[in-house]
Amino acid sequence: MNDFEGGLAITSEFCGPSSAFIDAIYGQRGVLFARPVKVAVSIKPEAHFPGAKRAFDLVVSLALLPILGLCAVGLAIVNRSSNAGPLIFHQKRMGKDCKPIRVIKFRSMTSTHRINRRAHDPLEINRITTVGRFIRRTRIDELPQIINVLRGEMSLIGPRPDYLPHARHYLRTIPGYHERHAVKPGITGLAQVDLGYAEGADATRAKVAADLTYVRRRGYVMDTRIALKTLRVVASGGGR
């Protein structure tokens, strides 16, 4: 069976999407999965990488705590006059092993909550406040997630956790989607720095392909590349 046709590569070291399969769909960015593909990922990263990654997460997150505090004070003052409502927003998302986690963010939308919103709902953008646009563009809204990192629920780098109802929908409709949850979700990831904000079914499938590429290739080199590209994206205000 051809690697690309079956979408699987089975060796003593790897059982999951074949290199040709992942690279093909990731390279095309928006390709649709024509049929279900059964995927099983079992990868051993570089020696000592998990421990080093966790140490990096802790050191950087602790260093960012004072900045988080200053941002919280500043936003609390601004929100009092122009964006009434809670400073912090909690949202249930899908974490490692498909378990739900409560992701912490600075609120960037009006406090009115729309029930049962659909994935990629165009009406959601109308809820973004003026301050919200700024903190989204500068990624300040993501900063409270260092608390999730310190708790061990997330990593600085990994597949972005999806809103729980959306994630459950993707589990049913996107083949291989569950495999991106073999690792901790991240504040930034390969899909974010390479593809930007995913909106629409095709873009979501391309994002999942990028996430599977990360799961397969994760290590010191990959994480360093993502970290450097994240700094460039944040500095340029791009990606959203």
- pLDDT tens track for 67-81: 999 999 999 988 887
Over 50: is that where the pLDDT of 136 sits? yes
Looking at residue 130, its pLDDT comes to 81
Looking at residue 116, its pLDDT comes to 52
Owner of token pair 């994935």: 119
Looking at residue 122, its pLDDT comes to 55
Task: Tell me the Ramachandran region of residue 83: left when phi exceeds 0, alpha when psi lies from -120 to 50, beta otherwise.
Answer: beta
The DSSP call for residue 35 is S
Looking at residue 131, its pLDDT comes to 84
State the pLDDT confidence band at 6, using cuts at 50, 70 and 90.
very low
Most confident of 8-12, 45-49, 114-118, 166-170: 166-170
Q: What is the pTM of this model?
A: 0.76
Structural domain harbouring 90: 3-236
- The pLDDT mean for the chain works out to 79
State the pLDDT confidence band at 13, using cuts at 50, 70 and 90.
very low
* pLDDT > 90 fraction of the chain, expressed in percent and rounded: 50
Number of domains into which the chain is organized: 1
CA distances from 38 to 41, 65, 104 (A): 10, 41, 33
Query: In the predicted model, what is the mean pLDDT of residues 105-133?
Result: 69
Please list the alpha-helical segments (H only) found in the chain.
3-6, 19-27, 49-82, 130-137, 145-151, 164-173, 190-195, 201-217, 220-236
CA-closest candidate to residue 180, choices 98, 104, 119, 239 = 98
Owner of token pair 């390969």: 190
